[in-house]
Amino acid sequence: NEIIEQSNPEKVLQYLISEKLELVFPNLVIALRILLTLPVSVASGERFFSKLKLIKNDLRNIMGQDKLSDLALILIEFPLCNSLDINDIINNFANLKARRVNI
């Protein structure tokens, strides 16, 4: 089919689903879904592990898994975090109503 030959994997998958051909070619649909979830480069994965090495130092024994995950997320998403205005965040937090948990 001309559509499939000249398209990228996403368009091929959309075509197979729109024509209800996923039951005819189940392995192709699975392969295309796996292909579309793979990162284009491994640089993001390498960046993650290099950031994790920065975090996992001598403090890792006293640091819980949740805190380690939070720090990793901040380091990985640093460009986004850097673009946030801290004053806006503080003002939004200050304007929230106090919520008490009933014991």
pLDDT band at 99, cuts 50/70/90?
low
Q: Render pLDDT for 6-58 as a digit per residue (tens, 0 to 9).
A: 678 888 888 888 888 888 888 888 888 888 887 665 555 566 667 666 656 65
pLDDT, tens digit, for every residue of 78-93?
A: 777 778 888 888 888 8
pLDDT of amino acid 46 = 65
Domain boundaries, the chain: 1-38, 45-99
Contact 13, 29 (CB under 8 A): yes
Task: State the pTM of this model.
Answer: 0.36
b vs e for 28-59, b when ≥16 Cβ sit within 10 Å of the residue's Cβ? ebeebeeeeeeeeeeeeeeeeeebeeebeeee
The total of other beta-carbon atoms located within 10 Å of residue 68's CB is 15
Q: Look-up: residue for tokens 């392969």? A: 31
Q: Kindly tell me if the per-residue pLDDT of 98 is higher than 70.
A: no
